[in-house]
Amino acid sequence: MAIFLGYAAATMVAVFCITHFFHRRLCCRHPLFTDYPILGMLPHLLRNMWRFQDFVTEVLKQHGGTGEFTGPWFTSMNYLVTIDPLNVHHVMSKSFHNYVKGPVFRDIFQAFGDGIFTADSETWKFNRDLFHSLFKQKSFEVFLEKTIHNKVQNSLLPVLDHVYQQGSVVDLQDVFNRFTFDNICSIVLGNDPNCLSVDFPEVEIEKAFNEAEETIFHRHVVPRCVWKLQKWLKIGQEKKMAEACIVLDEFIYSCIASKREDLSRYEENETGETFHVDLLTNLMREGKGKGEGEAHEDIFLRDAVFNLFVAGRDTLTSALTWFFWLVATNPLVEAKILEEMNEKFGSNEKTVLSAEEVKKLVYLHGAMCESLRLFPPIPFERKQALKADVLPSGHEVNPSTVILFCLYSMGRYEEIWGKDSMEFKPERWISEKRGNVYVPSYKFIAFNAGPRTCLGKDSSFVQMKMVATAILHKYHVEVVEGCIAKPNLSIVLLMKDGLKVKLTKRET
């Protein structure tokens, strides 16, 4: 009897496994890799995790730009992965309301709270309208330019001068990290922590942001049940996430409390002067928290500040780091940038150009677009379908299907950029009339696409150009021998081991 029951159980398990296997084969009609029993396609991904971005690019090119990834059985790691611009346009614009971030996305990105990056529907619309009104205020634009100008003039260039005088090697990514952190603190909080100084002080909050972002990437490549268990047990990467969130929340909530005291004192004094044009102050004055009472408003402010920090710090650090690596390793491009600066401004003694001045630099703009094409700060975008749909590529989308856009891979896709897609070629962005070429956002998606296009796109270009022209005007940047530019594994595309360089002063 026991033997019979054993055979029956084994038969049932075998039938179930075979049925499940063929069901997965039926559902996954366009697999990117071999779908192993139990483990799905995860082994392929884990074997190539050390070169994740380039591996995904190669596989997608082999499959015409779109395919399906299935994770281990009974997990939610099933994705439709695409770099087809028509699919991007369909999801991000034409059928915008059918594709959302979704609850699973918010769970993975839980550190972002209900901020603009994770929100959907009315919550997203409220956040976007609010930030749009703040960014477009003339007083804020003036404040932003003044803040950047002062930081470049009084901190960035003096630190680089010190490095040059010492003849030492410097991690330019670390310099930009500190620069953007000080900048975003000034812009969002109205307070400069002076992390960019010659003694390079350790910044705990910066480390916490990096830990949180790396954990979010980790949550994309391991089954949800695994990272949930790690979170419950407080071990591994999830332990780092928990510790990082404590540091981040303590920092942000203390800033909010301090700002409330400042505003209270200011209102009591009523001097009539114009102060406090930083974003946190403006958000508080709007008085539009998501609930009633100060505690609810503090949660809203906390989420807003966190999202602004990620948008205004890490993305700019990434963009500047990869730009300088590309320019340093392409001397002809560097020469053309300097030639354009000389043509436009001659022997201008100004060390930092204004926002209006940098907008005149067409070749520099092309070089930056080209850098963002090859190394987009946010390497992938995630969407979830609400209703069944069919993409322009012919791939069927079921309700709750998760779609991944690989922005890094899109920048290297020959179908979009031609046979020379792997070349750093600023000229592709310049017209015959010496103006900048417009490329639709569903092809050049570094700043997202459709209704969710980045609100800070224009200000980001201004900041990058002000920094780039100030450094290139004064210094030649040389990458030290042995420094390998390798992307890290995170939701923001930074260099894994930093950008080690030496500086040479230009002859005046």
Residues annotated in the binding site for heme, as ranges? Answer: 454
CA nearest neighbour of 368 among 443, 442, 458: 458
SS3 (DSSP) at 87: helix
d(CA 205, CA 244) in angstroms, rounded, equals 8
Give me the long-range contacts of 56-60 (CB less than 8 A, separation at least 24): 56/81, 56/406, 56/408, 56/409, 57/406, 57/408, 57/409, 57/412, 59/32, 59/33, 60/32, 60/406, 60/409, 60/413
200: left (phi over 0), alpha (psi -120 to 50) or beta: left
What is the phi/psi pair of residue 61, to 5°? -60, -40
Q: What are the Cα distances from residue 256, in Å, to 277, 305, 322, 362, 370?
A: 15, 9, 33, 40, 38
Helix (H, G, I), strand (E, B) or coil at 384: strand
Please report which residue ranges of 28-137 form alpha helices under DSSP H. Answer: 42-47, 52-62, 85-89, 102-108, 121-135
Give the phi and the psi of residue 380 in degrees, each rounded to 5. Answer: -150, 155
The Cβ of residue 265 has, within 10 Å, a number of other Cβ atoms equal to: 9
Are β-strands 78-82 and 402-406 bridged in parallel, bridged antiparallel, or unpaired? parallel
Distances (CA, A) of 481 to 2, 129, 485, 501, 503: 70, 48, 11, 9, 13
Task: Report the candidate in 322, 320, 349, 269 with the shortest Cα–Cα distance to residue 462.
Answer: 320
Per-position DSSP letters for 263-288, written without gaps between them: HHHHHHH--------SHHHHHHHHT-
Instruction: List residues forming the annotated binding site.
Output: 454
Work out the number of other CB atoms within 10 angstroms of the CB of residue 508: 7
- Interatomic CA distance for residues 426 and 130, integer angstroms: 35
The residue type found at 330 is: N
Q: What is the largest CA-CA distance in the chain?
A: 97
Residue 193 CA to residue 155 CA, distance in Å, equals 12
Using N-to-C axis directions, what is the helix angle for 331-345 and 315-328, rounded to 10°? 100
